[in-house]
Structure 1
Amino acid sequence: MASQNALSSTNFYTIAWIAALPIERAAAEAMLDEEHVAPTDFTRHQTDENVYTWGRMGEHNIVIASLASGVYGTTSAATTASSLLTSLPSIRVGLLVGIGGGIARPDEGHDIRLGDIVVSQPCGTTGGVCQYGLFKAKSGGKLERKGFLGRPPTVLLNALSSIQSYHERKDSKVPGLLQEILKKNPKMGKRSKQNPGYAHQGFDNDLLFKASFDHIPSPDYRGYNRAEEVQRDDRDTTDPNIHYGTIASGNTLVKDATTRDRIVANLGEDFICFEIEAAGLMNHFPCLVIRGICDYADSHKNDQ
């Protein structure tokens, strides 16, 4: 990654990229084609405690911020975005990028795998993100929606349309970009007990189990009954597929398949992913939410 002197003004930065975890921020910074120092006219607002990375990605100048270490969820995300906007009023486009729990239902057309990408897209009655805590229980087990989250800016939805059209004609550029990142940052491709690495974990480590099957404390599930595994068609490549739809967001981290399926059934939305930050942003910092699938929102999470 090349670096250069500071740009003269914060007005050249109109895109803000927010990550929750340090590993997510590291991936974002690795994507930069060029890293900048802070613009010469940058004046931090007295209430802004964010730490920023400045740079260029393609033709766009981007500023990257992350949540305070160890402090996650919708409130922390809202604080990060609010502080950013006080210091950088020129920001027009927001991206929330990181990892999330995939809601894989291969028999219903959602063949989501580890390493795939999910992108928030307005669907039905949602703007692409639905807060699963904003509902009131009604008689008969029904739920009534008590609030709504905004949708991404139109410019980003138009960009989505363009990307989807491109992928109808040509392959995604993502695999090539990932290879380039690992070439420029060799450490990110190395695996150890302390560092699972940023490369694909291998098909043997991508197992989807039935919701009724609880985690067995074993690194490789030796001895489990194969009848508990959801059988899926083989893929001929580890390149990630991209899925568009509704992302479920709330302050409760979902790590249980029974809870996962109950939330999806109760809310009646066609969710494709769970995460815990986006709901804090959408009404105050309209953004596109992009998540890489790291688990299936169940008890079998594998950090590889």
Structure 2
Amino acid sequence: MSLPAREKFQIGWICALPVDVAAAIEMLDANFGILDEQDSRDTNSYTLGRIGKHYVAIAGLGQSGTTSATAVVINMMRTFSPSLRVGLMVGIASGIPSLVRDIRLGDIIVSYPEGTCGGVLQYDMGKIVEEGKLMRTGSLNAPPRSLITAVANMRAAALTDDPRFPEYMEKALQRNERTRQNFGRPDSSADRLFQMHYEHPETAPTCDGCLTDWEEHRNRREAADPHVHYGIVASGNAEMRHGGTREQLRKETGAICYDMEAAGVMMDFPCIVVRGICDYADSHKNEKWQGFAALAAASYAKELLSYVPAGPVSQEKLVIEMYHK
């Protein structure tokens, strides 16, 4: 399969972890392979492909953190400067559940503007004021208009029609046994949300011995398909493994998800963030849900692109122009 002209690749799809990259590649309608010629200063590795009518460049960070994310974005802008216009940040992250938001493992979080927040906030950016409190300063870029419109149209369609992303997930899982092993849905019994003050025993390798008496009571869901939640993604450089801190962040910001990369992307590359929930940002973290959560996020992103006409994307500003403003 011949590689299309680089000018066709207007969408950057950024992932943090190898499992995110693998899930993204599963969503390609056409895979053009690895880009082997790029800016000499660019250390990224790109998989190029097509989803529907859109040509996308997929890049992985290699390591977590906003600094790593910023470096990947700058490199991508150099290599795809003649064409790159909008971005997707897709992969796994931590959910921030509450009585208002019944967020569970495998669910999907989509960054969406609320109030004065464009959908992503850097929770650890600000200045220390009275009593040691952090007053957040500055703001991140708003998402591209074409992607916000696509999200709104996808949300409206979901009110009357079944979403297509579960079909994309099922198709990927039917590909072969290895895909099913790496991306299959764990049993619902592996989704355990503990009360925020119940810490995981330091010496225990798994949660098998964690007491059920400390689990939050949640009603059983009838359907196994992931639910989609729209709202604020909080982003910072430190990994979160503490239920009390997670709850404090929720109360202060209204965030429904926590990650370590989105702020580093949004600073220079306005995009929509799509996250599959693989843990609850507490001490009970494990990797059981990572594959399924990554596949859920990638499948949603694929459906989202079907709501994005090619014309409006071409009318967005080039990312390199915004970077040099």
TM-score, normalised with respect to structure 1: 0.89
Q: Which residue of 2 aligns with 1:219?
A: 206
In structure 1, list runs of 5 or more residues that go unmatched: 191-196
Q: Which residue of 1 aligns with 2:61?
A: 67
Q: 1:220, CA displacement in angstroms?
A: 4.7
Counterpart residue type for residue 28 of structure 1: A
Partner Cα separation in structure 1 for residue 44 and residue 123 of structure 2 = 28
- Structure-2 change in CA distance of 1:213 and 1:61 (3 Å): same
Partner Cα separation in structure 1 for residue 108 and residue 248 of structure 2 = 23
Structure 1 range deviating more: 141-150 or 169-178: 141-150
1:250-294 Cα offsets, whole Å, 9 max, x none, are 1001011122123333xx211100000011111211111110000
SS in 1 for 2:41: coil
Partner Cα separation in structure 1 for residue 151 and residue 125 of structure 2 = 27
- Normalized per residue, which structure has more helix? 2
Q: 1:246 aligns with which of 229, 232, 242?
A: 232
Partner Cα separation in structure 1 for residue 105 and residue 33 of structure 2 = 35
Q: Which residue of 2 aligns with 1:270?
A: 254
Q: 1:183, CA displacement in angstroms?
A: 1.3
Q: Which residue of 2 aligns with 1:83?
A: 75
Are 1:207 and 2:192 matched, yes or no? yes
- Structure-2 change in CA distance of 1:218 and 1:52 (3 Å): closer
Q: Which residue of 1 aligns with 2:96?
A: 103
Contact 2:34–2:45 (Cα < 8 Å) also in 1: no
Q: 1:142, CA displacement in angstroms?
A: 4.8
Q: Which residue of 1 aligns with 2:46?
A: 52
Partner Cα separation in structure 1 for residue 210 and residue 152 of structure 2 = 46
SS in 1 for 2:7: helix
Q: 2:111 aligns with which of 117, 120, 123?
A: 120
Partner Cα separation in structure 2 for residue 136 and residue 209 of structure 1 = 32
Counterpart residue type for residue 48 of structure 2: W
Q: 1:186, CA displacement in angstroms?
A: 3.0
Give aligned-pair identity as a percent. 39
RMSD: 1.7
Structure 1 range deviating more: 131-140 or 275-284: 131-140
- Structure-2 change in CA distance of 1:223 and 1:19 (3 Å): closer
Counterpart residue type for residue 38 of structure 2: R
Partner Cα separation in structure 2 for residue 258 and residue 223 of structure 1 = 18
SS in 2 for 1:177: helix
The equivalences for 1:254-293 within 5 A come to 254-265=240-251, 268-293=252-277
SS in 2 for 1:230: coil
Q: Which residue of 1 aligns with 2:214?
A: 228
Contact 1:19–1:67 (Cα < 8 Å) also in 2: yes
Are 1:13 and 2:9 matched, yes or no? yes
- Structure-2 change in CA distance of 1:218 and 1:38 (3 Å): closer
SS in 2 for 1:209: coil
Partner Cα separation in structure 2 for residue 141 and residue 78 of structure 1 = 28
- Structure-2 change in CA distance of 1:222 and 1:145 (3 Å): closer
- Structure-2 change in CA distance of 1:228 and 1:38 (3 Å): closer
SS in 2 for 1:28: helix
- Structure-2 change in CA distance of 1:218 and 1:142 (3 Å): closer
Partner Cα separation in structure 2 for residue 36 and residue 140 of structure 1 = 55
Aligned residue pair count: 285
Of structures 1 and 2, the one scoring higher in RCO (CA 8 A, sep 6+) is 2
Counterpart residue type for residue 31 of structure 1: M
Partner Cα separation in structure 2 for residue 145 and residue 222 of structure 1 = 39
Partner Cα separation in structure 2 for residue 222 and residue 66 of structure 1 = 35
Partner Cα separation in structure 2 for residue 86 and residue 119 of structure 1 = 27
Q: 1:33, CA displacement in angstroms?
A: 1.2
